[in-house]
Amino acid sequence: MIKFRYLALVLALLCSCQNTDSKQAVVSDAFAAAEQAYKSEKSQTTANKFIDQILSKIADNPKDKSQIIALSENAYNVAKENNLVSKQRGFLFSLIKEDYGNSSTPSRISELAGQMTTIKRAGTANILYKSLIDNFQNTPEAVDAQKKLDPAVSNIPQYIVNIGEGIFKGEVDKFGINRNAALRYVDACEAYALSYPETEDAASHLFRAAEIAKSIQTFPKLMSLYDWIIDRYPNYEKTPTTLFLKGFVLENDLKNDEKAKEVYDHFIATYPNHELRDDVEFLLENLGKTDEEIRQIIEAKQQNKEQ
């Protein structure tokens, strides 16, 4: 019986490995096919399909920084060749973020700033131009940025605060928020962390951006902001809170209990003595339960204390 169970386990493991290898082979084949199709006929259609495969490959290995950089550069060139401007911006952003020490960073920031100006994101463009002047002095891009920067822009943190003041003014939604102004503020905070990544307040700007992204329910953006803080700023005082909030949003807003559990487990392993640990353990114990079920549990515990 023991030998039979052992054999069954080995076979199960072999099947699992074969399934994983098979899946990777399919992904690799799809990537290669899309790449070949693009090389054979360069068009926006084949470019979009190839870029989709690049994004899938990045998503499969989100921790492989060198691969992300290489794939992003490839995708950026494909997007630029085919005038896919929004995708070009996205990969420029990724390259600056993932490879800030690259000698091409000044030109990348300058190009991104120019594109932001084109889509009428002047606030974001000004932050990027100011970063060139502050961080890449005497480069051609810094000289050019000096000509394009709004003369009124000197103190970038205060400039971002001023952008944020528009969130509660003008055309507001039922929650009292001006969505367009909120998006401009999130963009500005991201631009600051992107172009001033080593400053002490980069993480706090991302955290404030995440709060606004949550309020307007732009969840893909919210998740990317949470991950940015968690991955890049482990020593930031609110990083544990950010990890907690990521799990909470996954559970309650995105209804992904499996991913939420992974985040909660990671929180307990990473911050075993944090003040939020009890809350995380409670959420873990009651994962998947309805609000009514949780309410009953809380009431029962309260009654036990009172007895």
Other beta carbons less than 10 A from residue 140's beta carbon = 12
Q: How far apart are the first and last CA of the chain?
A: 52
Listed by start position, the domains of the chain span 237-307
pLDDT tens-place values along the chain, 307 residues long: 444 444 444 444 445 445 544 445 555 799 999 999 999 999 999 999 999 999 999 999 998 999 999 999 999 999 999 999 999 999 999 999 999 999 999 999 999 999 999 999 999 999 999 999 999 999 999 999 999 999 989 999 999 999 999 999 999 988 899 999 999 999 999 999 999 999 999 999 999 999 999 999 999 999 999 999 999 999 999 999 999 999 999 999 999 999 999 999 999 999 999 999 999 999 999 998 887 877 787 777 777 766 6
Task: Indicate left, alpha or beta for 255 from its phi (over 0: left) and psi (-120 to 50: alpha).
Answer: left
Apex CA 31: angle with CA 27 and CA 32, to 5°? 115
Alpha-carbon Rg for the chain, nearest whole angstrom, is: 24
Residue 166 and residue 10: Cα distance in Å, rounded? 62
Amino acid at 36: Q
